């Protein structure tokens, strides 16, 4: 069937809208990248828009040598890897039993999980709990505080329910237990969902800010997000006294801020392409059943 002129116009209009929305996300980041690699003089005069002016990468060296950024980057990697692994493990071990229809009290447990999406313990009670468990200034306070996202757990539960029951029944007839069924059959069939939720958890832990502010008081344990936020407010973290006048002129405020944001965003941009092919499929299949 040939598409009508009105239909073509509508599709073209939607494409234009989506392109404009995409540009609102892409162009600010391109501008920050251009600022971070341009000369300080060009940045100070406002000559940089979307293309670098006078390439200069020395600011990246100063960013890692004269700030706690390298240590904070390492902390962010530790927080993200440890938290993502623990959260995925806990989410799988929660979602799988709830997806089995023969689980006793399945509906009340699911409703209790849904209750946590509407009501929380609050900041102060949660802090008191972490303090009583002696988890302050440890990464366990970050990992245990947000171990399971109810939203992610429900998506995974729906995905497990979408696996044909005949597959599980056939495996059980052959003597396959619950653990083996999960490890050898259900999880291999759920790779799109696992990749999608791994990305969700990873981005959440990488960008974690408020929890680090609340529970991590030692600066040596803070992550890159907190360090960059402090840099956006003040330049006190930079050892300007160790630079000569010309170098200080190159290290203008806007350029430093741009470098901090770029360093914080790029790791997630590098990881995303490896998981992107599973992303849409995982979300769509996980939302078929409620």
Q: Which structural domain, as residue segments, surrounds residue 110?
A: 59-286
Ordered per-residue pLDDT tens for the chain, 290 residues: 566 777 778 888 899 999 999 888 888 888 888 887 777 667 667 777 788 777 777 777 777 777 787 888 889 999 999 999 999 999 999 988 888 888 888 888 888 888 888 887 788 888 898 889 888 998 998 898 888 888 888 888 888 887 777 777 777 777 777 788 888 888 888 888 888 888 889 888 998 888 888 898 888 888 888 887 777 665 544 444 444 444 444 445 667 777 778 888 888 888 777 766 666 555 555 444 44
- Nearest CA to 203 out of 93, 279, 141 is that of 279
**CATH code (residue 161):** 1.10.3720.10
Is position 12 within any domain?
no
pLDDT at site 20: 92
pLDDT at site 287: 46
pLDDT at site 3: 66
pLDDT at site 96: 87
Count of CB atoms within 10 A of residue 11's CB? Answer: 11
pLDDT at site 250: 46
pTM: 0.78
pLDDT at site 276: 67
Is position 35 within any domain?
no
How many residues are listed for the chain in this entry? 290
Is position 79 within any domain?
yes
Residues 6+ positions from 198 with CB-CB distance below 8 Å: 84, 88, 275
Is position 178 within any domain?
yes
Is position 201 within any domain?
yes
Residues 6+ positions from 216 with CB-CB distance below 8 Å: 136, 137, 141, 142, 222, 223, 226
Q: How many domains does the chain have?
A: 1
Q: Is 228 helix (H, G, I), strand (E, B) or coil?
A: helix
Is position 54 within any domain?
no
- The single residue listed with the structure tokens 């539960």 is 157
Is position 10 within any domain?
no
pLDDT at site 79: 92
As a whole number of angstroms, the distance between CA 234 and CA 237 comes to: 7
pLDDT at site 195: 84
pLDDT at site 114: 86
Query: Where would I find the H helices in the chain?
Result: 5-36, 40-44, 58-65, 69-99, 106-118, 123-132, 140-145, 150-162, 165-173, 178-181, 187-189, 191-206, 210-215, 224-233, 245-250, 253-286
């Amino acid at each position: 069937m040939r598409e009508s002129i009105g239909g073509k116009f509508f599709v073209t209009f939607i494409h234009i809208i989506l392109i404009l929305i995409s540009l609102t996300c892409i162009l600010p980041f391109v501008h920050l990248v251009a600022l971070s690699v341009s000369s300080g003089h060009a940045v100070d005069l406002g000559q940089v828009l979307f293309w670098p002016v006078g390439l200069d990468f020395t600011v990246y060296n100063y960013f890692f040598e004269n700030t706690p950024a390298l240590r904070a980057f390492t902390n962010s990697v530790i927080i993200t890897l440890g938290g993502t692994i623990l959260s995925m493990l806990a989410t799988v071990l929660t979602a799988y039993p709830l997806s089995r229809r023969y689980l006793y009290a399945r509906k009340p447990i699911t409703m209790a999980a849904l209750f946590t999406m509407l009501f929380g313990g609050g900041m102060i009670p949660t802090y008191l709990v972490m303090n009583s468990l002696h988890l302050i200034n440890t990464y366990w306070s970050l990992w245990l505080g947000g171990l399971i996202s109810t939203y992610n757990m429900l998506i995974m539960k729906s995905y497990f329910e979408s696996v044909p029951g005949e597959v599980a029944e056939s495996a059980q007839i052959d003597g396959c237990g619950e653990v083996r069924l999960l490890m050898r059959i259900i999880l291999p069939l759920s790779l799109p969902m696992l990749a999608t939720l791994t990305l969700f958890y990873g981005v959440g832990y990488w960008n974690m800010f408020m929890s680090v502010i609340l529970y991590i008081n030692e600066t040596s344990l803070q992550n890159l997000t907190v360090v960059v936020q402090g840099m956006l407010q003040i330049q006190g973290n930079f050892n300007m006294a160790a630079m000569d006048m010309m170098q200080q002129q190159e290290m203008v405020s806007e350029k430093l801020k741009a470098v901090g944001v770029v360093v914080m965003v790029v790791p997630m941009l590098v990881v995303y392409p490896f998981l992107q092919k599973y992303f849409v499929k995982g979300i769509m299949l996980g939302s078929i059943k409620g």
